[in-house]
A and B are shown apart, each in its own frame.
Chain A
Amino acid sequence: MWSMSHGRWPGFAHGVFALVLTACAGNGEGLDENGRPIQPPEPQTSDPPTAQADGPQATIESIQEEVFTPRCASCHAGSTAPVGLRLEDAPTSHASLVGVRSVEDPSLLRVEAGNADDSYLIHKLEGTQSVGNQMPSGQPPLSPDTIRVIRQWIDDGAAAPRSSKSWEEAPGVVAFWPLPNSVLAAGPVSLWVGFDREIDASAVHSHAIYLQDLGIGARESKPILLSPITIGIAQQLPPGRYRLTLRGDPDLCLSSPSGVCIDGDADGRPGGDWRVEFSVRAEP
């Protein structure tokens, strides 16, 4: 058995330590606070820059810059992000958090827009989580002030970043039939909705699209889905008043192939139901 004598190991140790110490920390030249190259400033828009206060602000961009990137993204990035929660940039964080069901506690959304108390992210940050460690793991907890800012962002509606990829990818309704409040002479056998971009066919199901009879009894019909944009109906609609709803809520939404929910309420961001009401005239 080969073994180094006790008298020789310090020399070996010095060699290894010297070798490793040559791998020093970077001096950060040309980098921002998060170690990424400083980008040239974007062309000036009409709004003059506003002074940035210290610490994160209640926007996803600021939270990303001050919290997610420095504290979370060392683990929560790319394909190996634990439980699929990716926090490497603001659009990705927003898409990965808002309206997405928690893997650890499926009874909660990671972020429920407008409801910080019931957002699992807040539970994980405050240490009241039902499963696993308080986050950030292996680091000191976030300060109460920082968590308060994240709470505020959620309670304010968890808005997406201004240049969010998810904003750009959210399908919007651009054409449809019947028109709102129209009165049809005969019951249609299909309804038609056109989007400005592709819809994920696998997300089209009876929970995401439904037709409601607004008449007495308010029963729901069972639409047969022929394609993402043509909604076939099992039988010709009888006379009455109807409401067609396309779900934009994160739980059961129609979405783009990349999973971005439709912008149903046309507010420029994913989410919100799209509705149209119409009537079928009774035969004379």
Chain B
Amino acid sequence: MKQWLLLALAATCAASPALAEPYIAARAGLKCMQCHVNPSGGGMRTVFGHAYAQTTLAGDPATLGSRFWGAPDSWITIGGDLRARFEQTQISGQPDSSSFDTQELRLYASAALIPGRVLLYVDQRIAPGGGNNQEAYLRLPLLDGRLALKAGKMYLPFGLRLEDDTAYIRQTSGINFETPDHGLELGYESGPWTAQAAISNGSAGASDFETGKQFSLRGAHVRPVWRLGASFNLNDTGLGTRRMHGLFGAVKTGPVVWLGEYDWIEDQSFAGGARKLQAGLAEANWAWAKGQNLKITLEYLEPDTAVLQDEQNRYSLINEYTPYMFLQLRAGLRIYAGIPQNDFQNRQSGFVEVHGFF
């Protein structure tokens, strides 16, 4: 019955535009856009995304389901994410620190101004601090939905859109949830293919006084048990040119979804001179019980290929429990390993997080 419900919803939402946890898409064998309004993932969920959260993600879908699937009106849909966390950190030579932290409260809204033709989308961060806009764009489907043009402020397409902005691949690429940009994006969706091409200011949210612009390309071939993609980004700034090349992919082996990404960056915009950087991620996601996901992540960062013995690693062990839709509980450990003379690069932290979403 659940499978039929999912298939029916997939059929009804196929033309709608994508979850910021790529392993979920890989586990389901679907594109990001199946569950999120944004074709490259993250932000507001589609009706299918809500149904998936209720029927497949949740540990107990039967007893605590909801009829609310994000659409209070036929042409307006809303959504949101709240993440609150307690984290304790150990740094050698320093007293342990711990804190409660409301990491974010974001609200999403979209209005189908002309259904199937014009979509207005807003992603507004409400907390912490005062509100600020993250995304605001118009989306215009073209050619029966195979193409879509976005204009406004948006997250840029590059690699795996992980929820964790502190992951090396997100931090080093500089394309993450902290750095939306203003510009245009053309998306392509057809069969197993998904692609996005964007031109934007390249100023990471700051005012742009230059004629040089940032070009982003991302494409992937999505199959039910594997996917493979590539990314490219060129940012031509007055400070220098920055080129990024990335490969990413995922494969499902039984209850485990494997994710991987490798990024190669040539950056001439550093004050101290040009640098070449590399960042990599390998992640295993094991659905060890209904509603449970155990995530093991190994990350690699080479901050400057011209400098030997400066590499850094990060190891994460995180369990995610989704008892029912709208709620996810996360607990994890992270171990950082860097050069021995830098205590901060060798810290450990543990956290417990509550993630509410709708």
Chain A contacts with B in 112-157, Cβ cutoff 8 A: 127, 129-134, 137-141, 143
- A-B pair count, CB < 8 Å, reads 190
Closest A residue to B258 using CB positions: A16
CB distance from A203 to the nearest CB of B (A): 12
Contact B224 A1 (CB under 8 A): yes
Contact B97 A140 (CB under 8 A): yes
* Contact indicator per residue, chain B 168-208, by CB within 8 Å of chain A (1) or not (0): 00011111001100000000000000000000001111110
Q: Which residues of B contact A19 (CB under 8 A)?
A: 282
Contact B204 A32 (CB under 8 A): no
Q: Which residues of A contact B101 (CB under 8 A)?
A: 134
* Contact indicator per residue, chain B 333-354, by CB within 8 Å of chain A (1) or not (0): 0000111111011000100000
Q: How far is the CA of A16 from the CA of B256 in the complex (A)?
A: 13
* Contact indicator per residue, chain A 18-52, by CB within 8 Å of chain B (1) or not (0): 01110111111111111111000000000000000
Given contacts A21-B298, A28-B338, 10 further A-B contacts (CB under 8 A): A5-B254, A23-B313, A25-B311, A27-B340, A32-B341, A35-B345, A77-B270, A78-B240, A127-B128, A137-B166
- 10 closest cross-chain pairs (CB), A and B: A80-B174, A84-B206, A28-B339, A26-B309, A138-B166, A79-B269, A4-B253, A78-B269, A35-B310, A25-B337
CB distance from A6 to the nearest CB of B (A): 4
Closest A residue to B267 using CB positions: A78
Chain B contacts with A in 252-309, Cβ cutoff 8 A: 252-256, 258, 267, 269-272, 280, 282, 284, 298, 300, 303-304, 307-309
Q: Does A233 contact B (CB under 8 A)?
A: no
The dominant DSSP class at the A interface is loop
Known: A24-B313, A33-B341. A78 touches B207 (CB 8 A): no
Contact B235 A28 (CB under 8 A): no
* Contact indicator per residue, chain A 66-87, by CB within 8 Å of chain B (1) or not (0): 0000110011011111111110
**Interface-central residue, B91, B131, B256, by most chain A CB under 10 Å:** B256
Contact A91 B179 (CB under 8 A): no
Contact A1 B225 (CB under 8 A): yes
Q: Which residues of A contact B338 (CB under 8 A)?
A: 25-26, 28, 35
Contact B272 A79 (CB under 8 A): no
Contact B132 A131 (CB under 8 A): yes
Q: Which residues of A contact B311 (CB under 8 A)?
A: 23-26
CB distance from B249 to the nearest CB of A (A): 12
Q: Which residues of A contact B253 (CB under 8 A)?
A: 3-4, 8-9, 12
